[in-house]
Every structure is written in structure tokens, then in C-alpha cells.
């Protein structure tokens, strides 16, 4: 990793620090500080339920991943990607689970409470799958 002054000019020496992250650094006295701007971390779109769960999990349990994504300004993008994947998985699996549970439109007309119970059961099962495969992995 080459350390660069704020204009991108080479500092004259290559130093290696842990995992390779391509960042620009500002030399302040004897220290090199990562040149991270607020614009690098601006959200593309707001996070939903699953994106926030992933953010909390990464911050609390995956410190190296959190540090790498934060320094590169990609933490929000990562959580947005997980959010999109989780929503897509929910949309894809819900009809399959509803059919297996027998939560049909006929049942909805005959016994709404039973239909809601089956729908909620399916939703909770898929939610557990999403948490296991996407959020907590």
C-alpha cells in the first residue's frame, strides 16, 4: 500500500498495514491519517429492517469487516445490498411457503384469523432463514 499525501503525491515510501486497503492518507506530524470524507459515506437509499440488523451485527460482532468497510466507505452499500437480497428472498419464498401452509384465498374468505395465523407463521419462518443465511453470516 502506497501512502500518499493529500494531493495524491507519493510520500516516498511504501508501508504495509494489516489487510490491504487502498486509501489516501494525510500526513499530520509523524502520523498518517486516512483521508475519509463525509461524501464517501453518504447513503444511496435508506436502510430497512434487514439492512439495519446487518449493520448492528457487523458493528457488534465483525469488527474487522466493520473497519474495512468503514474505511473504504462501503458499509452503507454493503447493508443496502443485504437489504435488497433479503427483500428479494422474502418475495421469492413467501408464495411457496403460503402454498405449503394452505393459506389460500379460499381460506382467507372462510376463516380470516386462521389465514392470518398461517401467513404470520410463514413470514416468521422466512425471517429466520434470512437471518441465518444473510444477516448473521
Contact 34, 25 (CB under 8 A): yes
Among the ranges 32-41, 66-75, 114-123, which has the highest mean pLDDT value? 114-123
Q: Look at residues 60, 55, 57, 56 and name the one whose alpha carbon lies nearest to residue 78.
A: 55
Confidence (pTM): 0.69
Share of the chain above pLDDT 90, in %: 61
Whether the predicted pLDDT of 1 surpasses 50: no
Contact 89, 38 (CB under 8 A): no
| H/E segment holding residue 62 | none
What's residue 9's pLDDT?
44
Whether the predicted pLDDT of 11 surpasses 60: no
Amino acid at each position: 500500500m502506497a501512502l500518499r499525501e493529500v494531493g495524491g503525491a507519493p510520500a516516498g515510501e511504501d508501508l504495509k498495514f494489516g489487510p490491504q486497503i487502498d486509501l489516501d492518507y494525510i500526513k499530520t506530524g509523524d502520523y498518517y491519517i486516512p483521508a475519509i470524507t463525509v461524501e464517501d459515506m453518504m447513503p444511496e437509499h435508506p436502510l430497512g429492517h434487514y439492512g439495519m440488523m446487518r449493520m448492528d451485527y457487523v458493528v457488534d460482532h465483525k469488527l474487522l469487516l466493520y473497519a474495512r468497510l468503514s474505511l473504504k466507505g462501503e458499509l452503507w452499500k454493503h447493508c443496502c445490498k443485504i437489504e435488497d437480497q433479503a427483500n428479494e428472498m422474502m418475495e421469492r419464498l413467501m408464495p411457496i411457503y403460503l402454498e405449503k401452509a394452505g393459506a389460500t384465498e379460499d381460506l382467507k374468505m372462510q376463516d380470516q384469523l386462521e389465514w392470518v395465523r398461517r401467513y404470520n407463521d410463514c413470514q416468521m419462518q422466512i425471517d429466520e432463514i434470512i437471518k441465518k443465511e444473510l444477516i448473521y453470516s
